[in-house]
Amino acid sequence: MTDAVTVDVRRSGRRFEAEATLDLDSSAKTVWGTITDYDALPRFMPGIRDCRVLERQAQGRASERLVVEQHGEFRFLLFAQSMKVRLHIEHRHLRVAEAKAVEFDLGPLRPRAIEVFEGRYELGPAHAGRVRLRYTAVIGLRLPPPPGVGSFAVRHNLEAQLRAVVAEVAQRSA
């Protein structure tokens, strides 16, 4: 398994673009099963308390579209904000899982809500029989966070989530 999880975050105004690449000692089937096991996400993914697939529709033999609702919280240092998000997700089996948030509910922070969230997992071969997992995300806020805090918070949360994916893949591979 890869030792370090490092997320590169670039900020442009209120928009953050994040990217991480992990080489995992596992089969593509195990990695895919981990990142698309929405019922299990609350068990291993930090910040997710509940995750439900509301709709699932096949799009040919190797593709499907889902509507997924997640409840959880965004944490940063001593700050925690409850949130509910509805995602449209497209799966291209064993290759790409791409999510786009279509609805956010951040309670009292609604006016400061996230404007856009798009996340994408891509699986590909790595050297020596390993699987390469590439994660990219675009996060846009309605109001800019304080300087320096936004990129750090995005990096911190995404690294924690990807470390959880790595640990779960290792457990499922054992």
For 145, the domain range is: 8-173
Quote the percentage of the chain above a pLDDT of 70. Answer: 87
Residue 3 belongs to some domain of the structure: no
Residue 110 belongs to some domain of the structure: yes
Q: Is pLDDT above 50 for 2?
A: no
Please tell me the distance from the alpha carbon of residue 90 to that of residue 8, in angstroms, as a whole number: 24
140 within 8 A of 119, measured Cβ to Cβ: no
Tell me if residue 157 falls in helix, strand or coil: helix
Number of compact structural domains in the chain? 1
Residue 85 belongs to some domain of the structure: yes
- pLDDT, tens digit (0-9, with 9 covering 90-100), for 77-108: 556 677 889 999 999 999 999 999 998 887 66
Residue 2 belongs to some domain of the structure: no
Residue 157 belongs to some domain of the structure: yes
Model pLDDT, residue 105? 80
Q: Which residues contact 93 (CB under 8 A, 6 or more apart)?
A: 32, 62, 63, 64
Model pLDDT, residue 150? 79
What is the distance, to the nearest Å, from the Cα of residue 1 to the centroid of all Cα atoms in its chain?
19
| Pairing relationship of beta strands 96-105 and 79-92 according to DSSP bridges | antiparallel
Please tell me the distance from the alpha carbon of residue 157 to that of residue 150, in angstroms, as a whole number: 11
Q: What is the pTM of this model?
A: 0.89
- CATH number of the domain within which 28 lies: 3.30.530.20
Residue 62 belongs to some domain of the structure: yes
Model pLDDT, residue 40? 98
Residue 146 belongs to some domain of the structure: yes
Residue 31 belongs to some domain of the structure: yes
Please tell me the distance from the alpha carbon of residue 91 to that of residue 37, in angstroms, as a whole number: 12
Torsion 43-153-2-85 (CA) sign = positive
